[in-house]
């Protein structure tokens, strides 16, 4: 639900807490997304009924038994009791409440419509969770088939093939190439499984370490935005989150620069964050937000066109909301198509691998029966 900014005149920059100015409080345990959604929903309901802020937090303490959530509520109650603004108290917990969250709460404090903003934040959180479930659902079955196929192949090579080693040694010169290759692979897996396991663990650990370095992060982020098979999925995922946050922030009176800054923390991609930084620079120089979306290789032309139209007509929040809905539908459709295509492809690959293994066993047996006969 969008809020008409003409009805609520807000100077968000003056009230928005910045990470640099707000001391951070480290919880002993993590508060998860589920707990944050519960917090947002309950606070929205309590504030809508007219319950004062501190009383709402006290009432919530009676409804939770999660130690981390209780610790968070105690800290919020203490800070508000000392006269701190709610948004500033929330900003002390960046691991729980994002910059977008605190910016919107800060804006709503001035306009007196915090319960409406909290309801919108809850809807945003639920949409993200729904999108995450869609992605997991679309990719889980193909991944399961891949893991299952690899497990079957390793089992056959390690357990089944060695049983035929002595039998096939009688016709070593007449064995098909595939049988020789699979027998050699079987011997390597059986005789050097310790070294292979150590090598696999070291390789995975090395990749994880590299992926956390600055160079590794940049390379992986570049691949997400440029690799043909996945670039459209990641670009649309980033645009959904970015457009949704911008639409909600601008629609509730948060300044353009604060809204763009918040988007940097929404998208976990260094190259996309650099792109948002370029948009910020364009806005600072007075060129407008649409200029920042021009000539960017991974941004679809429709984005720049619609944002330009929204900027000219003064309907940027509505246009960005429409873009978020559009790309969310496109992303869901792509994931469903990918899932439907991946299943037969994986079955074909599994069938081919099984056929290769079976033929590599049966053909030598036929030749062996002829020799014996």
DSSP string covering 31-49, please?
--HHHHHHHHHHHHHHHHT
* pLDDT for the residue numbered 26: 56
- Are 331 and 240 in contact, with CB atoms under 8 Å apart? yes
**d(C-alpha 242, C-alpha 373), whole Å:** 73
List, for residues 122-153, the tens digit of each pLDDT value: 888 888 888 788 778 777 877 888 888 888 88
Residues 6+ apart with CB under 8 A from 343: 141, 142, 145
Where residue 23 falls among pLDDT bands split at 50, 70, 90? low
> 220 vs 137, which has greater pLDDT?
220
> 306 vs 174, which has greater pLDDT?
306
* pLDDT for the residue numbered 116: 83
Can you tell me the mean pLDDT for 251-256?
Answer: 82
**d(C-alpha 180, C-alpha 299), whole Å:** 50
Q: Which two tokens stand for residue 10?
A: 């807000």
- Are 74 and 84 in contact, with CB atoms under 8 Å apart? no
**Range of weakest confidence among 88-102, 121-135, 276-290:** 121-135
The number of residues in the chain equals 373
Where residue 326 falls among pLDDT bands split at 50, 70, 90? very high
206 to each of 195, 210, 284, how far by Cα in Å?
A: 16, 6, 41
Mean of per-residue pLDDT scores for the chain: 82
Q: Which two tokens stand for residue 174?
A: 């007449």
Can you tell me the mean pLDDT for 3-13?
Answer: 37
Where residue 8 falls among pLDDT bands split at 50, 70, 90? very low
Give all domains of the chain, ordered by start, each with its CATH number.
12-112 (1.20.81.30), 123-373 (no CATH)
17 to each of 84, 88, 120, 326, how far by Cα in Å?
A: 11, 6, 20, 32
User: Does the reported pTM lie above 0.85?
Assistant: no
Residue from 215, 256, 228, 10 nearest 111 by CA: 10
**Range of weakest confidence among 24-33, 34-43, 54-63, 289-298:** 24-33
**d(C-alpha 195, C-alpha 207), whole Å:** 18
């Amino acid at each position: 639900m969008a809020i008409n900014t003409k009805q609520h005149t807000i100077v968000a920059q003056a009230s928005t807490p910045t990470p640099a100015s707000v001391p951070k409080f480290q919880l002993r345990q993590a508060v998860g997304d589920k707990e944050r959604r519960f917090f947002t929903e309950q606070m929205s309901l309590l504030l809508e009924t007219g319950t004062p802020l501190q009383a709402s937090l006290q009432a919530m303490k009676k409804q939770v038994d999660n130690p981390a959530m209780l610790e968070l509520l105690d800290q919020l109650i203490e800070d508000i009791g000392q006269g701190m603004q709610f948004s500033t108290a929330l900003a002390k917990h960046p691991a729980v409440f994002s910059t977008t969250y605190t910016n919107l709460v800060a804006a709503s404090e001035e306009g007196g419509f915090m319960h409406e903003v909290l309801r919108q934040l809850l809807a945003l959180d639920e949409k993200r969770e729904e999108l995450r479930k869609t992605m997991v659902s679309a990719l889980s079955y193909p991944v399961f088939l891949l893991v299952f196929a690899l497990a079957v192949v390793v089992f056959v090579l390690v357990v089944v093939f060695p049983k035929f080693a002595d039998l096939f040694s009688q016709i070593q010169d007449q064995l098909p190439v595939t049988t020789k290759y699979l027998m050699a692979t079987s011997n390597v897996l059986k005789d050097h499984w310790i070294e292979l396991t150590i090598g696999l663990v070291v390789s995975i650990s090395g990749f994880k370490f590299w992926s956390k370095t600055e160079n590794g992060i940049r390379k992986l982020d570049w691949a997400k935005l440029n690799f043909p098979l996945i670039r459209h999925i990641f670009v649309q995922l980033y645009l959904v989150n970015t457009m949704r946050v911008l639409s909600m922030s601008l629609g509730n009176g948060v300044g353009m620069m604060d809204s763009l800054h918040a988007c940097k923390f929404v998208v976990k991609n260094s190259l996309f964050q650099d792109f948002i930084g370029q948009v910020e620079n364009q806005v600072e120089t007075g060129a407008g937000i649409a200029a920042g979306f021009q000539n960017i290789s991974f941004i679809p032309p429709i984005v720049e066109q619609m944002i330009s139209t929204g900027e000219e007509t003064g309907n940027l929040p509505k246009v960005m909301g429409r873009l978020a809905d559009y790309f969310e539908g496109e992303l869901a459709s792509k994931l469903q198509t990918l899932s439907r295509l991946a299943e037969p492809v994986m079955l074909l690959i599994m069938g081919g691998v099984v056929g290769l293994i079976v033929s590599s066993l049966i053909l030598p047996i036929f030749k062996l029966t002829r020799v014996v006969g």
